[in-house]
Amino acid sequence: MKKIITTLATLLVLSATSVYANDPKATMAALDARLAKIGEAKLEGTEKAGELTVPGLYFGARKINNNYDVVDEIKKSSGATATVFVKHGDDFVRVSTNVLTPEGKRGVGTTLAKAKAYEAVSKGELFCATVDVLGTAFDACYNAIKDKGGKIIGASYIGFKK
């Protein structure tokens, strides 16, 4: 009997995990929580992102530009693609991502397309929909990253390949 209960409990946990495994909103909340746990978002200095020089995006003392531990952790735990963008002029530039270009390289230095996700994030709103990310369709969510004064300084992204 104990073995049956243990097996059922394991199946329930696996079922619950798979139900939420492809949930962009839940995974976005997990990414944003991980970033917030590191510290407050802020801009400091500049950093290369691909061919661009962009503001350095920090959470607490940790620089996010060209640092992939958080986005890779999300990929490992949920299977989702994840990106952190920094606001640079009118653009949002990928500074940390596990999204790969067609050449198989991280898409660092590429910008968020100026479409519905861009419009929502620019207003500080969460945006969830099916989107094209570097040529591939994803069920995705984007969320604004704000500094302690409420200024939008970046964006976060989560996506599950369709």
Q: What is the DSSP string of 139-154?
A: EEEEEEEE-TTS-EEE
pTM: 0.85
Q: Which of 162, 143, 141, 139 is nearest to 153 (CA)?
A: 143
Give the tens place of pLDDT for each residue, 106-158.
Answer: 989 999 999 999 999 999 999 999 988 777 889 999 999 999 999 999 999 99
Give the tens place of pLDDT for each residue, 43-52.
Answer: 999 999 999 9
Instruction: Quote the distance between the C-alpha of residue 1 and its chain's center.
Output: 43
Q: Domains for the chain: give ranges and CATH numbers.
A: 2-161 (3.30.450)
Give the tens place of pLDDT for each residue, 36-77.
Answer: 999 999 999 999 999 999 999 999 999 999 999 999 999 999
